[in-house]
Chains A and B, each alone.
Chain A
């Protein structure tokens, strides 16, 4: 007996289920034995009926929604369709297709039978939400194991019903039949359709990304795959282009009011006096004010907007909390390090630097950046009969559920968060803040409130990707070999506010209402395999500029701190290559030791027809020059090499990142088409962040408040070509693709600019003004 079987009662559960089915199943067994047509029993329950989870609970039919229950992940409906309840969700990268493929594969059902239901706290367990490119890596891993266990259980059930050993049965599209007598068969739907699995899994007692609960089944071997690895298109595109799919902004409930928030003109300031008579022209409008928290609610959305604009507020006088923006990087350099962490140390770095004959050193700077989601956040909260329901585009609904319970001071089981597609999401954007604000408004007015932020709040008040300064130095010996390397990042924390809304102190609603603060410390180091004999990688974090309710509080934006760190580290590797007069690809291959790293670098160079020579390219004259640059990085097991080919206009400073070649290895590929689209988006967004994106502020407030003050890449600047080489390793666990290809983009562009123009740009973004200044 395996450890798993000792620990769990799955066998007993199965026996109970089989005993419970004895009556009708015996009859069916007889029929089957006689070769009669299979008859189904019970009332057919449609997928939608099963998905009506409240009804299921009322029938007492579903086991508790806990991670150790198979029913928490998989249900088979009477019509043979399969519901996969997923505690993560898709942010637009097509994750649900890949999850459906993994479930269908292990269950041996057609892909079209599987419907993936994402991110509703009433139907799924806390698998961590959208987080850290773990949708397939961790979320899919669990769904794969659950589906494999479901198949195993169903085949064992069939073995009993068909009085045939399980190893003599085959499954095709949910129909289990005897291998040498296809007339003996029974479908999943007939065995368990419309009922819930009552099977225990060996849960590791972890929630979130770390949740893992396998059954006794072994998943398939990659050489058995027929669905995983195939390009399957997204089914959600058509409803989107025909305007048939609702976003969170579109959800309405009866009696709903509309809310708008009012933020201070000087960060840190709070209302002293609110003149309610100033909005008396809007009879339904109400003010909700609690310390720094200030919002208005009205029956009609336009009235709420007008009331927000007209409300007269006297704000407290506070000292301007921020340095003037030109002083930002000096502030970072001079600020006391709140936390220091050496994450990697090899050899004796200081001694090696002493023995070097040549020293190369450089510093790089990365600004605050905004999620600047396509639309500002929106949430709807209804509090009815003690039950709280929240529709939110949050990336982490199960954590938002905890945050709402804490914010409203109600038990967790009285809160349901229904994740609903939001207007773009690339990390800890403004969605969680909006959900909590909506809850405070709804509680205050006793009506359901739909809150939508304004554009300036979406860009100006979302948690920001942290600004940072990176110092790198390398020591080279007489033979031109790197013998010492040090890389130190110093910046604001990536978890000044945490990556989810579970704790009120991480949300504006909590901070504005005076709750005790808990600013966290986190940054990171370059993820690469350069085998320098003496090497030290470390980081330091500094306190936020303003501790409470800051529009510059920092958190996660796609590939948290990855673009910053690798812009610096991979630019610097290029600088060292240039200093020893080496080709940038060849130089990297001298030191990179990981085989898969070597493979992506080599594959990208081959695909791009890399012109092997040291940078810069010396033969160009005139205003228009072009160049190529490479950068590479790892991210939690995934490897990416990116080659950028750019055109530089010396007269204007304008950069066109004309072509990208990407070699990508994320282990096992589930859906190559989905993966390509995912990478394409990352490259374009990465180019946008590199070329344009910088949150501007003065000493009082963030002044990037719209698309003019926070420009992103325009269609006229779109790369002409993105060539993608996918390296598939079916034998390796999938390691995630949602973010890694964002990581090397900035350095690849910087290195290409250097190749083109012989000038090193060490501060992002590479705006025309900055490039032109550097060129002159």
Chain B
């Protein structure tokens, strides 16, 4: 039942053998050794597993390998680096957002995909784009501040 898949992740190509029904999350974490994104629910309800698939935020915990094809996958590690951070990463550090930090993928990757297409969003639009994502530590007030800050940085 295993098949070969070629995954393009953060600009690098990897070939793995796996069950086509296996969610992308497990390929990223176990086959490719990317300790990020995270398993939060396996139900696309929390966002902890979020990656970009051809620029769109996707829940990798419910995205079967068979559906990925040749899409370009970007994880949080591929979004920016300390030397060249994404504005959201900068804003997150400046606003000192996370507590435990396990939810970061969902918020940053979803917001990054949103801000890439939406310039100068209103607060209501930001909330609407992020609704459904979970943060159990209660940092939502800081998350909103950081996303607004990043939106300003991105003009």
Q: Is A124 an interface residue (CB 8 A)?
A: no
Q: Which residue of B lies closest to A423 (CB)?
A: B102
Given A234-B96, A714-B131, is A374 in contact with B140 using a C-beta cutoff of 8 Å?
no
Determine which of B35, B38, B42, B133 lies in contact with A423 in the assembled complex, contact meaning CB atoms within 8 Å.
B38
CB distance from B41 to the nearest CB of A (A): 4
User: In the complex, which of the residues A241, A372, A423, A715 contacts B108, with contact meaning CB atoms closer than 8 Å?
Assistant: A241
A638 on interface, CB distance cutoff 8 Å: no
Q: What residues of chain B lie closer than 8 Å to A722, measured between beta carbons?
A: 141
Q: In this assembly, does A424 line the interface, its C-beta being within 8 Å of a C-beta of chain B?
A: yes
A315 at the interface (CB under 8 A from B): no
Of B45, B104, B133, B143, which one neighbours A240 at CB under 8 angstroms? Answer: B104
Question: Is B56 interfacial (CB 8 A cutoff)?
Answer: no
Residue of A nearest to B130 (CB): A715
Q: Are A684 and B138 in contact (CB under 8 A)?
A: yes
Closest Cβ–Cβ distance, residue B128 to chain A (whole Å): 7
Query: Is B153 among interface residues, defined by CB-CB distance under 8 A?
Result: no
Q: Report yes or no: A681 in contact with B139, Cβ–Cβ below 8 A.
A: yes
Distance in Å: Cβ of B110 to nearest Cβ of chain A:
10
Binary interface profile of A, 507-545, with partner B (CB < 8 Å = 1, else 0)? Answer: 000000000000000000000000000000000000000
Secondary structure at chain B's binding surface: helix, strand, loop or mixed?
loop
B45, chain A: closest CB distance, angstroms: 4
Q: How far apart sit A236 and B102, CA to CA, in the bound complex (Å)?
A: 13
Decide yes or no whether A8 CB sits under 8 A from chain B.
Answer: no
Task: Indicate with 1 or 0, residue by residue over A353-379, a CB within 8 angstroms of chain B CB atoms.
Answer: 000000000000000000011111000
> Quick one: closest A residue to B86, CB to CB?
A241
The answer to whether A707 touches B139, judged by C-beta atoms less than 8 angstroms apart, is no
Q: Does B14 belong to the interface (CB within 8 Å)? A: no
B115 interface contact, C-beta 8 A: no
Q: How large is the interface on A (under 10, 10 to 19, 20 to 34, 35 or more residues)?
A: 35 or more
Residue of A nearest to B98 (CB): A240
Q: Using a Cβ–Cβ cut-off of 8 Å, how many residues does chain B contribute to the interface with A?
A: 57
Measured CA separation A713–B77 after assembly (Å): 28
A241 partner residues in chain B, CB cutoff 8 A? 76, 85, 88-89, 92-93, 98, 101, 104, 108
- Chain A CB within 8 A of B36 CB: yes
Q: If A242-B82, A714-B131 touch, does A302 touch B136 (CB 8 Å cutoff)?
A: no
**Of B18, B29, B101, B130, which contacts A92 at CB under 8 A?**
B101
Cβ of B67 within 8 Å of any chain A Cβ, yes or no, is no
Q: Quick check: B96 and A302 within 8 Å, CB to CB?
A: no
Q: How far is the CA of A673 from the CA of B96 in the complex (A)?
A: 9
For B80, the closest partner residue in chain A by CB is A242
Instruction: Give the one of B19, B26, B41, B48 with max A CB within 10 A.
Output: B41
Residues of A within 8 A of B89 (CB): 241-242
Residues in chain A within 8 A of chain B (CB atoms): 91-94, 233-234, 236-238, 240-247, 249-250, 300-302, 306, 372-376, 421-426, 452, 454-455, 673, 677, 680-686, 688, 706-708, 712-716, 718-719, 722
Binding site for A on B (CB under 8 A): 18-19, 22, 26, 29-30, 34-36, 38-43, 45-46, 48, 75-77, 80-82, 85, 88-89, 92-93, 96-105, 108, 127-128, 130-144
Q: List 22 A-B contacts (CB under 8 A).
A: A92-B137, A236-B101, A238-B93, A240-B98, A240-B101, A240-B104, A241-B92, A241-B98, A243-B76, A246-B35, A250-B29, A300-B30, A375-B38, A423-B48, A673-B96, A681-B99, A688-B138, A707-B134, A712-B136, A713-B138, A714-B132, A715-B144
